[in-house]
Structure 1
Amino acid sequence: MADTGIGIPPERLSGLFEEFSQVDETTARRFGGTGLGLAICRRLVEHMDGRIGVESTPDRGSRFWFELPLAVPAEEAATLPPDADRPTETAPGRSRGGRRILLVEDDRSTQILVSTILRGVGHEVEVVDNGAAAVEAVDKGTYDLVFMDMHMPVMGGLEATTRIRALPRTSDRPLPPLVVLTAGVTAEERERCRAVGLEVFLSKPVDLEKLLHTAATVGLPAEEGDIHG
């Protein structure tokens, strides 16, 4: 992607993909933004074993680029000549199968980051932005796991969890395990979470390894190494 905008000074390029980095840090800057977008892009690209970078000249514009080692879809691979390069194994960190996961989160950046990472390793992810929508989704659908934010509009995570636990279920449709996904949990809040059956906690900003391990193991019969705290 290239533009003909204000460009970026050379000394600022190295920190451009860090969280909350702003090229113009003055309070009167003409161009806004939270500084999260490029940090999220970098984390996603690196998680998929790729590279991302930028070339820029002040007052002339910038060029952002990324490279990803993507596999060829099966239907396309079938049409390749016999000597063409073909992927023989699933890329590191990816699963051949996946779980159905409900992500309950009102922050758009976290929605994009978490859902993209989980989908990238084979999970099916549905996203809702408040607790009331989560209760309705679990009541009507079937999920293997729910990631639940605590502080959301309409209905928070604790009330949503309590209502989900009260939903009627059968052996064919058991209640899914719930995982707390939040920016901060005090000791008091942690006890309140445990009181409604929330035992597994993931903190924001999201740790990719813990997120993937949790998505792959929590709630399974042979589960080992649950992530607490």
Structure 2
Amino acid sequence: MRTYVGHSKAVRDIWFCNDGTKFLTAGYDKNIKYWDTQTGQVISPFSTGKIPYVVRLNPDDDKQSILLAGMSDKKIVQWDMNTGQVVQEYDQHLGVVNTITFVDNNRRFVTLSDDKSLRVWEFGITVVIKYISEPHMHSMPSISLHPSTNYLAAQSLDNQILTYSTRDKFQLNTNKVFSGHSVAGYACQVNFSPDGRFIMSGDGEGKCWFWDWKTRKVRKYLREI
């Protein structure tokens, strides 16, 4: 076991590279750090002077040196880690950026923000290609890609998990809404089983919920004793 010491405040997010030999951390000390997993040494630090809320590497093996970070100043900042330089800023959101998820064979990525919107970007282009924001929408602090890569499940703070298609229209799938849990006021995460048969979430009462992906029925919920 190894302890990685380098941030002066709490760590907000962690993301590993494809082979697990290195990983990123985002801290409330306004720093992003790139670590060597085996040695525990910091390879490179990155900072814009703002708090990073989420960090991701481009999933393509030949683009693992590209870092994207969602920031407290409403921007998604893209670094080339080989040079340490900021090469792109995506700045259409109106609130803190909470999630970054690559879709469509990593040609696009989806972001969620405290501005209660979902935005889809073409990687490397700073123009939003899809914008979803409705008066009834709540903030969605967590999102997960289905193993089939055809759907995104987003945790909505109105006690629902909403599902969006990852195809060109990125439409809400009203037949895939999951409910029963209580997450209002909590940024509970959502995820899938590796085979995609089940979707799971925590809740504000300390329970872990499991739904059947096809039927949307609650299969089980567990409470910590």
The reply to whether TM is greater than 0.5 is: no
Instruction: From the two aligned structures, give the one with the greater helix fraction.
Output: 1
- Bigger Rg over Cα: 1
Which structure has the highest strand share of the two? 2
Structure having greater relative contact order (Cα 8 Å, sep ≥ 6):
1
- After TM superposition, the score normalised by the length of structure 1 is 0.28
